[in-house]
Amino acid sequence: METIERAADRVLEETGTRFLDDPQTIDILKQAGGVATGDVVRLDGAELRRIIRRHAPAKFLLRGRNPARDTLVGGAGPPIFAPIYGAPNVVLDSGERVAGSRQIYGELVAAAHAAPGLTNTGQMICVMEDVPEDRRPLEMLLAHLSRSDKPFMGSIASPAAAEAVIDLTAAAVGRPASAGACNLLHLINATPPLTYWPNPLKCLRAIALKGEASMVSSYMMMGATSPVTVAGALIQGYAEVLAGLALAQLWRPGAPAVMGILAYPFDMRRMLPDFGDPASQLVQLYAAGLGRRLGVPVRGDGAITSAKIDDAQSGAEGGRVLSAAVGSGASFILHASGWLEQGRTVSFAKLRRDAAALAEFGHGKPADLPPLPLERDIEMEIRSRLSRP
Amino acid sequence: METIERAADRVLEETGTRFLDDPQTIDILKQAGGVATGDVVRLDGAELRRIIRRHAPAKFLLRGRNPARDTLVGGAGPPIFAPIYGAPNVVLDSGERVAGSRQIYGELVAAAHAAPGLTNTGQMICVMEDVPEDRRPLEMLLAHLSRSDKPFMGSIASPAAAEAVIDLTAAAVGRPASAGACNLLHLINATPPLTYWPNPLKCLRAIALKGEASMVSSYMMMGATSPVTVAGALIQGYAEVLAGLALAQLWRPGAPAVMGILAYPFDMRRMLPDFGDPASQLVQLYAAGLGRRLGVPVRGDGAITSAKIDDAQSGAEGGRVLSAAVGSGASFILHASGWLEQGRTVSFAKLRRDAAALAEFGHGKPADLPPLPLERDIEMEIRSRLSRP
């Protein structure tokens, strides 16, 4: 872990990170000691860790419209599971494959709500292809609020959309963000290698200033947008998320944040990432360790797969990725159900089937082994077994 | 971990373990402080742990006929993968399902030899239904020695068979067992709850006295042969394997041994174990921790499933179990390929397909995170990425 941190520190300090077209970000990083040359800022990794460790909460409450649905992100409880995020296509129960729509979106949220295994209804489960882009954030919000009372994720379509969804959700939940509690978690992606685009930077700022949560993620394709090795991907991804996580704390000390370092080998023949590859599981296990050292909750991926249908490949790839995420101690597991075809498709049947399996993962994270209940009663049961004739 | 150990200690001391029809075992346990009443011996768990920690090797070499195939059990290397063990039925590449036979056995060993993902050709990949039972150990040995030069597992058909296979294998390998190195690993099963049958006890003794390795396992069906809870299964299973592991060291201090605590929920409707259930993965994660505290290598299970064919269920169940085993840091993973139908069937196609995935698990165990190679080169690659136009 220290080797990764030291190597990432050298990358951050000697190479720097590119923050595209967002002078406010560059200004605040300079105030924190960064050295800017154009849009590339060279940063002190050890200082970024100090900022994060000092301010970022180790756990926070992510609330639902129904307080009984509130979930704790981080800490010893079970991981939170949210459905696939961002699928343009949908496989209906009839088997028909169609483009996402407003109506289907509502049905997907209802399906996620009905599944006990999902404790978060996510965001952009499918793309509403029949709704103009600027209307989608509020249409999705309406679906999440009207078809479910579970917590869900915020919009990152634009800073204005993020803010509007935050304010309306706070009104619906009836409890604005406070220390250690918020209503929405937002997916803030770095753009590997070592780059943040303007919209995620502006959204990160708007979200942090509202006291809402960001899941700062680096999603790498090993051999394409990152080095091909586990070590190289970890070093690059850690450098990227360290910058983003520290930024959130610079904008608002104490802003809830989750760390995600995800990396999948890029298949040069198919020009697609290779989900289920064991290298990605090793990245997840290290990432969780790096997150624990930072003191922030960690993201994992769920049953993701390259398979086009829910077959042996889909099961094996998804089972391995999910199990690695749960085993790593990840606190928030995205794409936990419904994912097919490199994430290009959400399937109603798979969403329900994956979620049924997730319902069994009701125990705490293995990294924080759960307490053993009823110790003496269990011993009595074992004794009675031996003494049977 | 301490809670499990303390509870198991009380079970061992207050309830005792049954050692059926093997006076030599009861005598040596009495010499080590055990209190016998008939075939039930009450033992001091702390003393058993002291014996194991003092004598059992943390790692040992399991050798093949070809020294280039030698594998280290325990330590920081990748886990060893062996195929399914004990299937009466075989699915051929034609799709036909037939009883195991001598000829098919040879072909299965050849398939396991040809698969780079398998580093051990195992034992009883299928049952040789066309060979008399007392001939099978030597026929299987002949297949493992003639169709492969990888390490494999020993016979536990009887103490005499175990000894014959050990002596013949030593002759073929050309290197008899020595401190920290042996030629065969044997599956020694407790019979939950809290019982050892005579044959495993006699085999364990014969094997230890030859300096060969035993994998002392408790394979529980939660709710049937063990308590239904994770905690209860762990307490019972740990008590069982602690007795067996200490016995091996009492027979021969330093005898190589692997610990296995496996538990699958028992489905009352189908009257079959439920493979892939997350409870079993939690048991595996705890078991690995208990093994680390004992200082012995730990067993895991591979792609096992309740599915009848290699479909989404097979993939998901197998993927989860395998990933939990690898993630737990298990050193020897049995049933790693070919398993279908609760282990009643081995499939050639699945054996090859599972093994192809295993070949990707070439890295070290996550519990002992592998060293990060070429640190500076990786940084240089990351740097060159940022500076691209």
Q: B43, B282, B382, B387: best mutation site toward chain A, by most A Cβ within 10 Å?
A: B382
* Percentage with pLDDT > 70 across chain B: 93
Average pLDDT over residues A164-183: 92
Contact A373 B229 (CB under 8 A): yes
pLDDT in tens, B181-220: 999 999 999 999 999 999 999 999 999 999 999 999 999 9
Contact A314 B310 (CB under 8 A): no
Average pLDDT over residues B350-373: 68
CA distances to A84, A92, A359, A362, B119 from A352, rounded to whole Å, are 12, 12, 11, 16, 38
Q: With respect to residue A19, please indicate whether it lies within any of the assigned structural domains.
A: no
**Residue A389 reports pLDDT greater than 50:** no
Contact B311 A311 (CB under 8 A): yes
Kind of pairing, strands B80-81 and B195-196? unpaired
Q: With respect to residue B313, please indicate whether it lies within any of the assigned structural domains.
A: yes
The pLDDT, as a whole number, for residue A387 is 56
pLDDT band at A125 (very low <50, low <70, confident <90, very high): very high
Give the rounded distance of the alpha carbon of B260 from its chain centre. 6
pLDDT band at A383 (very low <50, low <70, confident <90, very high): low
Q: Which residues of B touch A387 (CB under 8 A)?
A: 15
**Residue A228 reports pLDDT greater than 90:** no
pLDDT in tens, B100-134: 999 999 999 999 999 999 999 999 999 999 999 99
Mean pLDDT, chain A, rounded, equals 92
**Residue B8 reports pLDDT greater than 90:** yes
Which of B39-43, B64-68, B363-367 has the lowest average pLDDT? B363-367
Q: With respect to residue B74, please indicate whether it lies within any of the assigned structural domains.
A: yes
Shortest Cα distance, chain B CAs vs residue A287, angstroms = 12
What is the residue-wise DSSP string for A293-355? HHT--BEEE-S--S-SSSSHHHHHHHHHHHHHHHHHT-SEEES-SSEEGGGTEEEHHHHHHHH
Mean pLDDT, chain B, rounded, equals 92
Contact A381 B289 (CB under 8 A): no
The pLDDT, as a whole number, for residue B65 is 96
Shortest Cα distance, chain B CAs vs residue A329, angstroms = 11
Shortest Cα distance, chain A CAs vs residue B160, angstroms = 30
Q: Which residues of A touch B318 (CB under 8 A)?
A: 315-316, 319
How many domains does chain B fold into?
A: 1
* Percentage with pLDDT > 90 across chain A: 80
**Residue A328 reports pLDDT greater than 50:** yes
Q: Between these two residues, A267 and A165, which has the higher pLDDT value?
A: A165
**Residue A339 reports pLDDT greater than 70:** yes
Nearest to B7 among A11, A231, A379 (CB): A379
Contact A327 B285 (CB under 8 A): yes
Instruction: Provide the β-strand partners of residue B220.
Output: B263
Q: With respect to residue A50, please indicate whether it lies within any of the assigned structural domains.
A: no
pLDDT band at B370 (very low <50, low <70, confident <90, very high): very low
The pLDDT, as a whole number, for residue B282 is 87
Nearest to A315 among B312, B328, B379 (CB): B312
Placement of tokens 């494999």 in the chain: B152
The pLDDT, as a whole number, for residue B117 is 94
Q: With respect to residue B380, please indicate whether it lies within any of the assigned structural domains.
A: no
A-B contacts at Cβ under 8 angstroms: 225
pLDDT in tens, A34-71: 999 999 999 999 999 999 999 999 999 999 999 999 99
| Domain ranges, residue A90 | 56-358
Contact B386 A1 (CB under 8 A): no
Please state the three-class secondary structure of B173-200 as a single string: HCCCCECCEECEEEEEECCCCCEECHHH
The pLDDT, as a whole number, for residue B379 is 62
The pLDDT, as a whole number, for residue A385 is 67
Q: With respect to residue B114, please indicate whether it lies within any of the assigned structural domains.
A: yes
Nearest C-alpha neighbor of A223 from the set A168, A268, A176: A268
Contact B193 A386 (CB under 8 A): yes
Q: Which residues of B touch A312 (CB under 8 A)?
A: 310-312, 314-315, 353
- The answer to whether A300 and A328 have CB atoms below 8 angstroms apart is yes
Shortest Cα distance, chain A CAs vs residue B162, angstroms = 29
pLDDT band at B377 (very low <50, low <70, confident <90, very high): low
pLDDT in tens, A263-287: 999 988 888 898 988 889 889 989 9
Contact B322 A326 (CB under 8 A): no
Q: With respect to residue B35, please indicate whether it lies within any of the assigned structural domains.
A: no
Q: With respect to residue A211, please indicate whether it lies within any of the assigned structural domains.
A: yes
**Residue B9 reports pLDDT greater than 70:** yes
Q: Which residues of B touch A234 (CB under 8 A)?
A: 372
Shortest Cα distance, chain A CAs vs residue B157, angstroms = 26
Contact B386 A194 (CB under 8 A): yes
Contact B357 A235 (CB under 8 A): no
Average pLDDT over residues A233-247: 96
The pLDDT, as a whole number, for residue B125 is 98
Contact B7 A378 (CB under 8 A): yes
CATH number at residue A185: 3.20.20.480
Q: Which residues of B touch A285 (CB under 8 A)?
A: 327, 366, 369
Q: Which residues of A touch B91 (CB under 8 A)?
A: none
The pLDDT, as a whole number, for residue A364 is 45
Shortest Cα distance, chain A CAs vs residue B89, angstroms = 21
Chain B, nearest residue to A365 by Cα: B282
Nearest to B327 among A193, A324, A378 (CB): A324
The pLDDT, as a whole number, for residue A76 is 80
**Residue A353 reports pLDDT greater than 90:** yes
Average pLDDT over residues A147-171: 98
- The answer to whether B222 and B279 have CB atoms below 8 angstroms apart is yes
Placement of tokens 């190679």 in the chain: B373
Q: Which residues of A touch B11 (CB under 8 A)?
A: 379, 382-383
pLDDT band at B368 (very low <50, low <70, confident <90, very high): very low
pLDDT band at B387 (very low <50, low <70, confident <90, very high): low
**Residue B374 reports pLDDT greater than 60:** no
What is the residue-wise DSSP string for B204-254? HHHHHHTT-EEEEEEEEEETTTB-SSHHHHHHHHHHHHHHHHHHHHHHSTT
The pLDDT, as a whole number, for residue B247 is 98
Chain B, nearest residue to A385 by Cα: B193
Nearest to B382 among A194, A321, A369 (CB): A194
The pLDDT, as a whole number, for residue A175 is 83
Shortest Cα distance, chain A CAs vs residue B161, angstroms = 30
Shortest Cα distance, chain A CAs vs residue B253, angstroms = 29
The pLDDT, as a whole number, for residue A369 is 47
The pLDDT, as a whole number, for residue A183 is 97
- The answer to whether A372 and B4 have CB atoms below 8 angstroms apart is yes
Average pLDDT over residues A332-349: 97
Which of A270-279, A379-388, B290-299, B316-325 has the lowest average pLDDT? A379-388
CA distances to B263, B375, B388 from A283, rounded to whole Å, are 28, 16, 25
Shortest Cα distance, chain B CAs vs residue A366, angstroms = 7
Helix/strand/coil for B291 = helix
Which of A222-236, A251-265, B80-94 has the lowest average pLDDT? A222-236
Contact A310 B310 (CB under 8 A): no
Shortest Cα distance, chain A CAs vs residue B193, angstroms = 6
**Residue A238 reports pLDDT greater than 70:** yes
Q: B220, B229, B277, B372: best mutation site toward chain A, by most A Cβ within 10 Å?
A: B372
CA atoms within a 13 Å half-sphere pointing along the CA-CB vector of B66? 12
d(CA B324, CA A322): 10
Average pLDDT over residues B44-62: 98
pLDDT band at A362 (very low <50, low <70, confident <90, very high): low
Helix/strand/coil for A263 = strand
Contact B311 A314 (CB under 8 A): no
Kind of pairing, strands A60-62 and B184-189? unpaired
The pLDDT, as a whole number, for residue B380 is 63
pLDDT band at A112 (very low <50, low <70, confident <90, very high): very high
Q: A301, A351, A386: best mutation site toward chain B, by most B Cβ within 10 Å?
A: A386
Residue B327 DSSP label: H
